Amino acid sequence: MKKDYPNIFDPFTVRRMTLKNRIVMTPMGTNYGETDGMMSLWHLNYYDLRAKGGTGLIIVENANVDYPLGSNGTSQIRIDHDSYLPRFFKLTELIHQQGGCACIQINHAGASAQSIRTGMQPASASDIPSKDGGEIPRPLSVDEIHTIVKKYGEAAKRAQVAGFDAVEIHCGHSYLISQFLSPLTNKRTDAFGGSNENRARFAKLVIEEVRKQVGSFFPIFCRISADEFLEGGNTLDDCLEYLQYFQEEVDVFDVSAGLNGSLQYQIDMNSLPDGWRSYMAKAVKETYGKPVMTMGNIRDPKAADDILAKGDADLIGMGRGLIADPDWVNKVEFGDPADIRKCISCNVGCAGNRIGNNRPIRCTVNPSTLMGDEYRKRRVNKPCNVVVVGGGTAGLEAACTAAEVGCTTFLIEEKEVLGGLSVMISEIPDKKRLADFPKYQIRRAEKLKNLFLFKGKKADIPFIKSLNPDIIVNATGSLPLLPPITGLKEHIDKEGGKVASILKMIHDLPAYPQDLSGKKVCVIGGGAVGLDVVEYFAPKGADVSIVEMLPAIGNGLDPVTRVATATLMKKYGVHQRPGTALQEVKADAFTVKNPDGSIEDLPFDYGFICLGMCANNPVLDELKAEFDDGMVEIYTIGDSKRARRIIEGTDEGRNILKVLERRGFLD
C-alpha cells in the first residue's frame, strides 16, 4: 500500500511541472508509428493504459527531429513538422486526463540510421559505424551540425505547443549526440572533436537552442550513457567530466548506460539486479546537484523506494516493467504489490521484436500490451467447462483467462509444483527472474474461485470425462530433444555419468564445484539452452567449448542476449565451434564432424546435450480418440504444439478467448 512506499508517492516538482509520484515511464521505441511518422491510434491506447495505471510521468519514445537523415527504427514517430501536432496534442490530453504528466524524447539517429530505410548514407561525427558491422557514416559538416541544432530547438518548441510538460534530449545509446560525445565514434580534429569540451560542444549547442526555444519555465531532461561499458569508451569518470560543459540548462539527468556494442547494459540483461545503475545516478547528482532519474531492471517497489530513500536518485525510470504491467503504480498505491506482473527481462517481445525483427513490440508475460485487461469485463453467455491439462505458463494463462471470463475451469498438473519449465530454468542463478512469471500466474489462479487446481494428479481419460468438458486445453509442455545419435541414450542422465541434459544439469546445480579451473566442459547445441549452460560454467574457470551444427551460435536469440553472450564468451575464452555436427556420444567425449569433414573427439569432465526441446503430448492421441465427435474442442497450445518460447505459449493461452468465441460461449 501507499504508506509502505512513502518515497515513491512523494510529489516531485521541477520548474512548473509537478509529478504526483516518482515513477517515470522511460522512452522505448514501439514500432507502432504510421509509415509517414505519425503517431498511431495504437500509441494512444498504449500510453493511455500506462497513464491510467498511475504512472507519474510518461516520456514518449524518441521522435525524429530531422527526417529522413535522423530516422531510427522501422516506423519511428516524427516531430520535424507541424502536421504531427494534432495527434501529439490528443496524446497529451489523454495523459493529463489521468493525472499524469507528459514528456517526449527528441532524437537524431546519426550513424544508427540505415540507408535501406532512409535512402541515404547515414551521417555522424566521423566515419565510424555505431556498431560492429554497421554502415559507415559520413562526417557531418559544421554547417550541417548547426542546422541540426536548430532542428532540435524547433522540435522542442513543437512539443511544448502540443501540450507536453517537458522535453528530453537523447544524448546516449549510440545516437547522434552520443556519437559526438564518445571517443569511440568521434575522431574529429575540429572544434567538435578531441577534448571532452570539444566532444561536448554539439550537446551544449543543442541544449542551449532548446532552452532558447522553450523558455525558462519548461523542464529539459537529458538522457546520457553515463558509462559506455566498452574498452576505449567513456567511463563514469569521463562522463562526470564532460557534463560540466552542458549541464547548466539541464533540469533532470536521465542516467542510463551502454552503447550499441554493450546493449546488455543499455537494455538490461536479466542477470543484473534491481536498480544496479543507481550508483551512476548518485554520482551525477552529487557532482552537479541536479535531480536525476535512475532505471535498470527495477521491478520490486521496495527496491525503488529504497533508492529514493537513500537519495541516490529523485525519479525511478521504468520501461519494460510498464510494458509488462501498465498498472504497476496503482497496484503499489491501492492494491497489493504481490499482484504485479513483473517483467522478467527476457527482451524477447520488446527488443527482440523491435530491434531484432522490425516488428511492433509485444511482451512475453503480457499478451495484451495495447488493450490491457479489458477482456476481464467479458462474461460467458452460457455454462462452459474448460479442462486444462498441464500447469506450465501456457496452461496457467489459458486456465486463468477462461476462469476470468466465467468458465468453470479445471487445471490438472501431474507434478506437485505448477509453472513447468520456467520454474526449472529459474533455478539457474542468472535466470532467477524467470520465476516471477509463474509466481504471478499461480497467485492469480489461486484467487479465482471458479478455477480448480489439481496438482500431483495424472490427467487420464476417465478423470477428464468426469469433468464434463466443453473445451480441453492440451498444454503438457516439452522434453529435451534426443535424436538417434550413437551412444546418446546410453550415456545421458545416468547416475554417476558425465553426460547430462539441461534438466539433469539443473537438478545437479548444488553439486557442481564453484571453482572448475582445469575442468573441461563441452556443450552440444548453440541455442538458448546451450548458452545458458555456458553462462553458468564459463565464469567458474572451466575450459568451455560449445558445438553448433548451424553456421552461427545463438541463432534466434534476442539482440540483448546475443550481445551479452558474445561478450561473455569472448571474456572467458569459450571455444565456439559452429558448423560442427555431433556424431557419437561416449562416456567422456563427444565425437564431432568439423566443417572441413574431419572427425574429432572432444573430451570433457562435464558434457551437456542441449539440442533443444520437443513437444510432449502423453494424452493427446487418447483425447482425440475419446472426443472424436467434435462436440468437445481440443486446443493444443505452447510447447505441446511445438517447442518454442514462453511468449508464444502465453499468447496461445490468452487466445482461449478466441476458442470460446468460436464455440459460441462469448459474444
The residues assigned a catalytic role are 175
- Cell 556494442 sits on residue: 261
DSSP 18: E
Helices (H), 82-184: 85-97, 115-118, 142-161, 176-181
Question: Residues for the chain: how many in total?
Answer: 667
Closest C-alpha among 364, 465, 376, 367 to residue 412: 465
Return all residues near 209 (Cβ < 8 A) that are at least 6 apart: 149, 150, 152, 153
d(CA 255, CA 278): 8
Closest C-alpha among 590, 478, 485, 604 to residue 529: 478
E-strand ranges in 329-403 read 385-389
Residue 135 one-letter amino acid = E
> Coil, strand, or helix at residue 268?
coil
d(CA 149, CA 598): 59
Helix axes 393-404, 646-654, angle to 10 degrees: 20
Return all residues near 246 (Cβ < 8 A) that are at least 6 apart: 200, 203, 204, 207, 208, 222
Tell me whether strands 23-25 and 57-64 are parallel, antiparallel or unpaired: parallel
Return all residues near 431 (Cβ < 8 A) that are at least 6 apart: 270, 271, 425, 532
Peptide bond into 68 cis (omega under 30): yes
Tell me whether strands 520-524 and 606-609 are parallel, antiparallel or unpaired: parallel
Helices (H), 601-664: 620-626, 646-654, 656-662
- Cell 504510421 sits on residue: 34
Dihedral, CA of residue 415, residue 418, residue 420 and residue 426, to nearest 10 = -120
CA distances (Å), origin 331, targets 297, 322, 339, 452, 560: 18, 12, 7, 25, 29
Contact (Cβ atoms closer than 8 angstroms) between residue 115 and residue 121: yes
